[in-house]
Amino acid sequence: MHELGIVFHVIKMVEEVGEKNSLTSVARVGLALGEVSGVLPDYLQDCWKWAVQKSDLLQGSVLDVRRIDAVTVCNACGKTYGTVAHGKVCPHCGSADTVLLRGNEVELEEIEAK
């Protein structure tokens, strides 16, 4: 379960930002999660609820997860398409010479202080 490791990393980053900005309490943390990141949002939420109870700054805070759709570009025809629906093979020309553009990220987007 790498979700717990991700949560610990996010908490550490938020605590560092909190210290630099003299925050006393955080209400919400916004996270962008790629569709093919391999991170399970339900597990992430469960880990968050457990882990933030151990942080004075984040206790009771909410994790707001925004999904980023996975998009792939075909190097042969230059068109983009939904990765999950079509996989590695381009639905426009049939080429497998493709590259994932987005959808595997896990990014801290915002911190809302109380």
**Binding site residue list for Zn(2+):** 74, 77, 90, 93
- Contact indicator for 52, 45 with CB cutoff of 8 Å: no
For every residue of 36-76, DSSP letters joined together read TSS--HHHHHHHHHHHGGG-TTTTT-EEEEEEE--EEEETT
**Known binding positions for Ni(2+):** 2
Tokens in use for 51?
Answer: 């882990």
- Contact indicator for 31, 63 with CB cutoff of 8 Å: yes
- Report how far Cα 104 is from the mean position of its chain's Cα atoms: 8
**Known binding positions:** 2, 74, 77, 90, 93
